[in-house]
Amino acid sequence: MTKEDLLDRICVMFGGRVAEELVCGDISTGAHDDLTRATETARQMVTRLGMSEKLGAMTFGRQQTSRFLDGLGMEERTYSEETARAIDNEIRAILEGQHRRATEILTRERDVLERMTRRLIEIETLDRAELESILGGPVGAAIAAAKA
């Protein structure tokens, strides 16, 4: 998976949260799992995959497993407090950048967001056919257009 693929995934994970911000003017606990996954993806990009321009192509920390904890592992921190702050800053920058990107896309596509919101209020869940009806075509084409 490429860096751009991972950034796209994080952007998508922010979609629900940003939709709430734009449509409701508030946020709820609904995006908790998405925020957790987005943060973990960004952390892996920075600490395991060498996808940080500021920190370079290297890994940070070491996974430690315990035979007493049934495969649960801990991370051995093998870096300084200064590096820990730099890692946190890089993770934050990735997350803020993708939150901003999701906001730009959903603001630009506000009419689609409003149609989806109305339909979700009516039926609670959208399947692919319903989504394509709202988007006016295949999901893949809409995604490609939104990225442009």
**Tens of pLDDT, residues 57-82:** 999 987 766 666 665 556 778 889 99
Mapped onto helix, strand or coil, the DSSP state of residue 29 is helix
- Predicted pLDDT at 69: 61
The CB density around residue 105, as the number of other CB atoms within 10 Å, is 21
CA dist 65 → 45, 69, 73, 75 (Å): 21, 8, 4, 8
Is the pLDDT at 111 greater than 80, yes or no? Answer: yes
First vs last C-alpha separation in the chain:
20
When mean pLDDT is compared over 17-26, 71-80, 92-101, 105-114, the highest value belongs to 92-101
Instruction: Confirm if 56 and 24 have CB atoms less than 8 A apart.
Output: no
- Predicted pLDDT at 95: 98
Model confidence at 125, pLDDT cuts 50, 70, 90, reads confident
